[in-house]
A and B are shown apart, each in its own frame.
Chain A
Amino acid sequence: MSRFLSVLVHGIWKDLPPFRLVLGLCPALAVTASANNGMGMGLSVTFVLIFSNLTISLLRNIIPDKVRIASYIVIIATLVVLVEMILQAYFFGLSQQLGIYIPLIVVNCIILGRAEAFAARNPAFLSAVDGFSVGLGFTFSLTLVGSIREILGAGTWFGIPLTGPDFEPFAFLVKAPGAFICLGLILGLMNAYGRWRGENVIQ
């Protein structure tokens, strides 16, 4: 039971991607110009993570070691195509906005990383929980970055105008350089908080 809980929460703080676990940076930078896109991307990745972890864990005793990576890639890619089709059918606007970053979930290192590090040697249920936890952490981070950039960069949140007409948005934040600097500062703040709590941060 304690195992279950520790797996459930590790993705939300201890291994929170992409801040604590510096993986999956491309989507974290690319689609976080608005909170809505960040959340959509996060949820798509969560979907793929849960099911890839589950499938890989179920098949872990059948897949020979030599074709391990190839099999993982096929499984992950299948799930990504599935997500692509579902988004096109039910969330067309979002799928247009996320564009090529949806197929690029295939090469998101978080997913292959979790498959190798967790699903390949743990039972199915725990693996699915791990996928859920890491995915949730990723969704949270992307929504957070997206919110900061959208509120300060465009004056809206999930498309709802928040600031009055007197507020001149920092347009810089919704452009490419803003993404890097915003993510870098959040990472720095999290390190500072970790150090303050006395955690040993190796980065």
Chain B
Amino acid sequence: MDLILLAISAIFVNNILLAQYLGNCPFMGVSKKLSTSLGMGVAVIFVATLASIFTWLVYYYILVPLELKYIQTLIFILIIASLVQFVEIFLKRFSKGLYNALGIYLPLITTNCAVMGIALLNIKHEFGFWEMVVFSISSAAGFTLAILLFASIRERLFISHVPQFMRGSAIALVTAGIMSLSFMGFCGMVN
């Protein structure tokens, strides 16, 4: 029951993109079309979950016993960067279809703060193993949900009349703000 609540709160109430501001660069960058957003979203779910599991294990079984907590940032980014490389090589070898679908998004993920952010939040909230897994998957799913909704809105924005100076990123940010406002409506769902 707690895990379900945790998942709902991570997807809707504390949406990683709209309430915690993580992963905004790809949010603005690749959300112009629905299909690319879907690719990015799936890639983020996949990498964020794997990265969270690895960083969590390394943190609690290597860094804590060795009292090296202070270099957590350095270790985490190295884990994420090499993980992304491995996933890329692995997909290229064994699953051409998936590679063609996700391949171009993978290099972008290394510098996606959503992935690193989820890994850091797992440690900050002192989650246990299963809480960590549920939180990572649902946070990344929240990211995907937001980016998909946003891409559909942006496809409409393309054909609507926007004042010249607000075109592009400016109107995108304001739209994201209104979306974030509507997501605040979920606040009452948990607690």
**B partners with A:** yes
**Interface contact B74-A77, CB-CB below 8 Å:** yes
The answer to whether A81 and B171 touch across the interface, beta carbons within 8 angstroms, is no
Residue of B with least CB distance to A76:
B77
Stretch at the interface among B37-45, B97-105, B116-124: B116-124
Q: How many residues on chain B are close to A (CB under 8 Å)?
A: 47
**Are B170 and A188 closer than 8 Å at their CB atoms?**
yes
Given contacts A29-B21, A29-B24, A30-B20, contact A107 B116 (CB under 8 A): yes
0/1 string, A75-112, CB within 8 A of B gives 1: 00110110011000000000000011001101111001
* Contact between B124 and A100, CB atoms less than 8 A apart: yes
Contacts of A74 in B (CB 8 A): 74, 78
Q: Decide: A180 and B173 in contact? CB cutoff 8 A.
A: yes
Q: A26-B25, A74-B74 are in contact. Are A180 and B180 (CB under 8 A)?
A: yes
A22–B169 contact, CB under 8 A?
Answer: yes
A26 and B22 contact, Cβ closer than 8 Å, known pairs A70-B81, A177-B181: yes
* Docked-complex contact B24 and A100, CB < 8 angstroms: no
Classify chain A's interface size: 35 or more
Q: Identify which of residues 125-171 in chain B touch chain A, using a CB-to-CB cut-off of 8 Å.
A: 163-171
In the assembled complex, A191 has its CB within 8 A of some CB on chain B: yes
CB distance from B184 to the nearest CB of A (A): 7
Residue A169, interface by CB 8 Å: no
In angstroms, Cα B73 to Cα A81, docked, is: 7
Tally the A-B contacts, defined by beta carbons under 8 Å: 131
The interface bits of chain A over 1-39 (1 if a CB of B lies within 8 angstroms of the residue's CB, else 0) are: 000000000000000000000111110011000000000
Shortest distance from the beta carbon of B50 to any chain A beta carbon, whole Å: 17
Whether the pair B24, A26 counts as a contact (CB closer than 8 A) is yes
**Residues of B contacting A45 in the complex (Cβ-Cβ under 8 angstroms):** none
Residues of A within 8 A of B27 (CB): 25
Is A178 interfacial (CB 8 A cutoff)? yes
Q: A22-B28, A176-B184, A203-B169 are in contact. Are A181 and B113 (CB under 8 A)?
A: no
Asked if B36 lies at the interface with its beta carbon under 8 angstroms from chain A, I say no
Contact B21 A179 (CB under 8 A): yes
Complex alpha-carbon distance, A104 and B115, angstroms: 10
Return the chain B residue nearest A32 by Cβ.
Answer: B21
Q: Beta-carbon contacts of A176-190 to B below 8 Å, as 1s and 0s? A: 111111111101110
Assess whether B22 is in contact with A184, with CB atoms less than 8 Å apart: no
**Contact partners of A25 in chain B: CB under 8 A:** 21, 24-25, 27-28
Question: Which residue on chain A has the smallest CB distance to residue B71?
Answer: A81
B77 and A73 within 8 A (CB): yes
Q: Is A68 an interface residue (CB 8 A)?
A: no
| Residue in chain B with minimal CB distance to A31 | B21
Closest A residue to B27 by beta carbon equals: A25
Confirm or deny: A59 has a beta carbon within 8 angstroms of a beta carbon on chain B. Answer: no
Determine whether B3 belongs to the interface, using a CB cutoff of 8 Å to chain A. Answer: no
Which single member of A85, A176, A195 contacts B165 (CB below 8 Å)? A195
Chain A interface residues toward B at CB < 8 A: 22-26, 29-30, 69-70, 73-74, 77-78, 80-81, 84-85, 99-100, 103-104, 106-109, 112, 172, 175-185, 187-189, 191-192, 195, 203
18 residue pairs A–B, Cβ–Cβ below 8 Å: A22-B169, A25-B25, A26-B23, A29-B21, A73-B77, A77-B73, A80-B74, A81-B71, A84-B70, A103-B72, A104-B113, A106-B77, A107-B111, A108-B113, A176-B21, A191-B165, A191-B166, A195-B165
Besides A100-B124, A178-B177, A182-B177, 10 other A-B contacts (C-beta < 8 A):
A25-B21, A25-B24, A25-B28, A26-B25, A103-B72, A104-B120, A177-B184, A183-B173, A188-B171, A191-B167
Residues of B within 8 A of A (CB): 18-25, 27-28, 70-74, 76-78, 81, 110-113, 116-117, 120-121, 124, 163-178, 180-181, 184
